[in-house]
Structure 1
């Protein structure tokens, strides 16, 4: 179909629904993790890879799939990505082998990268001028909607029909989007030269080695030869990636952009927010289910306290930024996230909505403000001729930050919980060693562990393990607060006014 016969409105709807589904597949799946672990009877490491594999491959191949879309056709890549996402996600809901499930989630991440990169290019092709800016504003809102509604909708699905319903529902939505393919226009980049396979391989390998080291660290020991070898491999591959990109005439990851402090600041923002927000989207549901005893549905609905402000405040930020400098708003957003994370350390086994309301709303408000500014800022901090490259690098940094932050927080929670449990060795030996108990606690399966003990010990055991995990969670929250609080002045400083030919930071709102 020619571009003139294609429908821009259908393109916008198809792109926004598809791209809203991609983050929902991350945050929504986190609600299902405790049920998956219990149903399949698998270890924490295996369950973590359901999330990590998706994020890891999504981030690793983003730039490569973008280059392939330019070369083979954006509509074709969009269709292939949707087909792959449907097949892998539907299969994930049908299998009962955790290794197969993890592999399918990794494959779904590759398909998600195909969809996102092709969708962005199709949107740019379908709209011009102010209409294009507005269309990308809607695209940014769809990301926020997916992140926000993923946990709550998945919680309802898990309670009604079980964890498999989450994957089947996501597959059905992607299949419905595919029905719009005949109404979409095909486009290519006539100057496309192919894929930088060396850069893709070294970057993917480095990220995989780092993620695997973070996941296996608490299990094998942080000084274990395997873990140290993985860190070494990460560094070697990262150096190889930098060398490979510096020698490319047209690199997929233009490292020279990192000489611009404003661009570095914009790329660091989603990395900081990954620690202060995305990690909570993944790990708070397990805390609610395993520690406070909430059902999956109630945990998902409680997460709305965190996610609803993310839907509201991007528009507010776009309006306020006309009078308040965006760099001030971005700094304030990080301070709000830091303050909310510190406030959230008041949670314990008895916490209800009254305790959670304040800190979750504060964190969500800070994230919502930044979401209203970042997508536009990513391209406005560089010359217009490099906007496409900047957007690709920004999204890669965002997804890479999420992958590393989730793996790191999960590992830290297990390590700290195990440290609290080893203070009383052998007290509840029938439930397993400290490592096993810490892993199960992180999966929200404390009640299941307690069944291995005599009835008279179960209540005390539950209090003991819940207390250790809660203390570990508090420690991690303080670290998240510190990261965001220290990052705020650094971001404001890097975004200060300089003599530059690029535009000021500009929000993109629908």
Structure 2
């Protein structure tokens, strides 16, 4: 469940930006579709190469556990989204490199092992059920994140623009109202940061519970006491 929550945090922190940041690039900086695609490569390229690196780090260095990399990824996700709070029409595009790289690294680093770790956390005879739950909640989380992002952003734009037709054009990324879109984008980023913080705390609590249960099951005194009762 901790790993499921971690993937849902990534859905809100990465998948929503992957889906809608090209709209922000058009609305705030007036970039064309092609130019926006080039900028987004900064974020997506790490996802192509880093999954294998994450697996190698775990295999070659016993001090690095899968959980450690998950926490590193969550921290990178939070930092990348926090940096995007500075988005404004006057911000040079070069300043976007750091947050986009952080988001790409945070998504790509655990991608090569998170499914296997989730399946390895349950008994073999429940692996099919665990796989179904994992994929249902992960893909469901992405669906809720993407749809919710659009709904909230559209509602915030509509609250600031009296003309419904203009509000629709602003929300869809039409250049010419960069200040409005940047302000609304910042508010949505605050919501993403809040969700990421709550999700990370949930992951930590679930992991702590699991570690405590494992230690209790391995403690001979606890086992003997349980058997006696």
* TM-score over 0.5 (shorter chain): yes
The CA RMSD over aligned residues, in Å, is: 1.8
C-alpha distance in 2 between matches for 1:323 and 1:314:
18
C-alpha distance in 1 between matches for 2:111 and 2:197:
18
TM-superposition CA deviations, 1:65-94 (whole Å, max 9, x none): xxxxxxxxxxxxxxxxxxxxxxxxxxxxxx
Counterpart of 2:167?
438
Q: 1:477 aligns with which of 174, 179, 189?
A: 189
Q: Helix, strand or coil: the match of 2:110? A: helix
Counterpart of 1:293?
30
C-alpha distance in 2 between matches for 1:489 and 1:312:
28
Q: 2:3 aligns with which of 259, 266, 278?
A: 266
Q: TM-score, normalised by structure 2?
A: 0.84
Q: How much has 1:476 moved relative to structure 2? A: 0.9
- Give matches, 1:143-158, under 5 Å: none
Q: How much has 1:412 moved relative to structure 2? A: 0.9
Q: Helix, strand or coil: the match of 1:370? A: coil
Q: How much has 1:492 moved relative to structure 2? A: 2.5
TM-superposition CA deviations, 1:332-366 (whole Å, max 9, x none): 21121011101012222244441110111011111
- Give matches, 1:28-427, under 5 Å: 264-321=1-58, 322-422=62-162
TM-superposition CA deviations, 1:411-451 (whole Å, max 9, x none): 111122222335xxxxxxxxxx1x322221121224xxxxx
Q: How much has 1:474 moved relative to structure 2? A: 0.8
Q: Is contact 2:29–2:178 with CA below 8 Å preserved after alignment?
A: no
Q: Is contact 1:334–1:487 with CA below 8 Å preserved after alignment?
A: no
- Give matches, 1:11-22, under 5 Å: none
Q: Is contact 2:27–2:181 with CA below 8 Å preserved after alignment?
A: no
Structure (1 or 2) with the greater helix fraction: 2
Q: Helix, strand or coil: the match of 2:105? A: helix
Q: Helix, strand or coil: the match of 1:499? A: helix
**Which ranges of 4 or more aligned residues in structure 1 deviate by more than 4 Å?**
none
TM-superposition CA deviations, 1:294-343 (whole Å, max 9, x none): 11111111101111111222222213334222222212211210111010
C-alpha distance in 2 between matches for 1:495 and 1:341:
24
Q: Helix, strand or coil: the match of 1:294? A: coil
TM-superposition CA deviations, 1:378-406 (whole Å, max 9, x none): 21111111212211221111111111111
Q: TM-score, normalised by structure 1?
A: 0.39
Q: Can you give the 5+ residue segments of structure 2 that lack an aligned partner in the other structure?
A: 216-229
C-alpha distance in 2 between matches for 1:279 and 1:327:
24
Larger-gyration structure (1/2): 1
C-alpha distance in 2 between matches for 1:383 and 1:296:
47
TM-superposition CA deviations, 1:73-121 (whole Å, max 9, x none): xxxxxxxxxxxxxxxxxxxxxxxxxxxxxxxxxxxxxxxxxxxxxxxxx
C-alpha distance in 2 between matches for 1:472 and 1:289:
14
C-alpha distance in 1 between matches for 2:160 and 2:179:
9
Q: Is contact 1:332–1:488 with CA below 8 Å preserved after alignment?
A: no
C-alpha distance in 2 between matches for 1:384 and 1:488:
27
Q: Helix, strand or coil: the match of 1:495? A: helix
Q: How much has 1:483 moved relative to structure 2? A: 1.6
Q: Count residues in correspondence.
A: 209
Q: Is contact 2:80–2:102 with CA below 8 Å preserved after alignment?
A: yes
Q: More relative contact order in 1 or in 2 (CA 8 Å, sep 6+)?
A: 2
C-alpha distance in 2 between matches for 1:353 and 1:316:
28
Q: Is contact 1:274–1:401 with CA below 8 Å preserved after alignment?
A: yes
C-alpha distance in 2 between matches for 1:489 and 1:325:
19
Q: How much has 1:373 moved relative to structure 2? A: 2.7
Q: Is contact 2:6–2:200 with CA below 8 Å preserved after alignment?
A: no
Q: Helix, strand or coil: the match of 2:109? A: helix
C-alpha distance in 1 between matches for 2:85 and 2:165:
25
